[in-house]
Amino acid sequence: MSRRPRGLSPEEKELWSRVAASARAMRPGKVRPDEAEAKPKPRKPHPTPLDFRIGETARPLSVAHDLVPALEERLAAQPLRMDRRTHQQMLRGKLQPEARIDLHGMTLAEAHPELIRFILNAQAAGKRMVLVITGKGKMRDDPGPIPQRMGVLRHQLPTWLTQPPLGAVVLQIAPAHLKHGGGGAFYVYLRRF
């Protein structure tokens, strides 16, 4: 069974009226709900069928959505898993890569097994930082109806490096400094063996 709400006693009503009388509005410009009911609201005239403007109820245009951020932004947003000072030196090109592989010119089917072999061998040899050169990519002669990214291999590399079997081996991925290839190369920092 539900209980009926108990009403306020006369003492409680009197106390509440004293508290309400001493209260100040936090936002003086706003109208209280009980005052809003007392004032008549101005009515808008009913529009005739031809009384409208094109787009008057449309929402304002927002910035176009780029669902996938640029590769450099995605790599910069990764959490830092290595020593901060070493990472800064690596980004500035102060550290020399201990090994390098050039995947430039290979197809995806050729490059993936070569990358796996290279990274696993580099870690087995005790190397910490390697350079993977992918190239920046080139514009297609026939763009076709479906847009494609420039540099398919370049965009696929971070995915390969985070998936098995390389995900357990790779500690950090970063774009290479200009003296090591710039936008067409990546530093791959490996975990200790």
pLDDT one-digit tens code per residue, 98-154: 999 999 889 999 999 999 999 999 999 999 999 999 988 776 666 677 766 678 899
pLDDT along the chain (193 residues), means of 10: 80 90 79 60 65 76 70 89 94 94 92 96 95 84 70 91 94 94 92 85
Which residues, at least 6 apart from 133, have a Cβ–Cβ distance to it below 8 Å? 100, 101, 102, 103, 104, 181, 184, 185
Residues 6+ apart with CB under 8 A from 177: 91, 92, 93
Q: Which two tokens stand for residue 104?
A: 């430039």
Q: Which pTM value belongs to this model?
A: 0.62
Helices (H) and strands (E) in the chain, counts: 6, 4
Rounded to the nearest 10 degrees, what angle do helices 152-162 and 108-124 cross at?
A: 40
